Structure formats: C-alpha cells, structure tokens
C-alpha cells in the first residue's frame, strides 16, 4: 500500500479514536509536509554517494565499476538546487497556512488564536 495512503488512514484513525482537531481539509496539509520532506531529501542527497543502496539492491562492485553513475544520487546544478530551496520554503509555509486555516474553519481556533498561532508557526520556520 502506498505510504501516503497509509499515513492518511493512520491520521483518520487517530482523529476518530481521540477526536483530533482540524479535519476541514482531510488533513491534506500533511501531504504538503511530506512533499517538503522529500524535496529536502533531494537537496541533502544532491550528488552524494548512494551508500544506502549498495546492500539493498544486491549489486556487487563489478556492477558499480560498469555503472559508476549508480554510486551517487543525481547531481542537480547549483541554480536548480537554489530553486528547490525556495520551493522548500514555500511548501513549509504552505503547510503552516493550511494547518492554521484548517483549525480556524474547523472551529478549533478563534480568529485571535489563528493570527497568534500563524505568527508563532511562521516564526519557528524562520529560525
């Protein structure tokens, strides 16, 4: 089963079990967070060795001698990585906005706490 689908089922189960806050957007803000996490991993792994794959794929040294490109993650140019970093920031901010709006329209936050929590969450991202 797809990991995102498992995550959504897990979130819905928790909401039903312990009466979680929010839900106006079916917790899709967490999908935004998962995309952001994946983009962050692409940035961190850019051009780095794929040591974690050596054993899991069962390829021997002969394979890597014939296919040296498989030793490293794809290397995106610096200008592309800079755009990925901008996108990562936008995605993180989008998740915060979606979360805060979700709680407001689900009546879990007042308009006053919406503004306060939005500011707090955005400030946490800035650090």
**pLDDT tens by residue, 31-74:** 999 999 999 999 999 999 887 655 566 677 787 788 777 788 99
pLDDT band for position 5 (cuts 50, 70, 90): low
CA–CA distance, 98 with 59 (Å, rounded to integer): 43
Longest dimension (CA), the chain: 63
Q: How far apart are CA 89 and CA 75, in angstroms?
A: 21
pTM of the model: 0.73
Amino acid 71: pLDDT = 83
What is the dihedral angle through the alpha carbons of 61, 64, 68, 72, rounded to the nearest 10 degrees? -90
Q: Is pLDDT above 80 for 91?
A: yes
> What's the CA gap between 71 and 99, in Å, rounded?
39
Helices (H), the chain: 3-18, 29-45, 51-56, 61-66, 78-105, 111-126
């Amino acid at each position: 089963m797809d990991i995102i689908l498992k995550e959504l089922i897990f979130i819905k189960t928790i909401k039903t079990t312990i009466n979680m806050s929010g839900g106006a957007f079916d917790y899709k803000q967490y999908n935004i967070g998962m995309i952001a996490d994946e983009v962050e991993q692409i940035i961190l792994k850019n051009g780095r060795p794929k040591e974690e794959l050596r054993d899991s794929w069962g390829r021997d040294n002969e394979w890597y001698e014939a296919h040296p490109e498989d030793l490293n993650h794809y290397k995106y140019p610096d200008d592309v990585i800079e755009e990925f970093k901008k996108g990562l920031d936008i995605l993180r901010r989008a998740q915060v906005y979606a979360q805060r709006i979700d709680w407001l329209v689900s009546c879990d936050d007042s308009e006053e706490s919406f503004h306060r929590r939005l500011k707090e969450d955005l400030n946490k991202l800035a650090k």
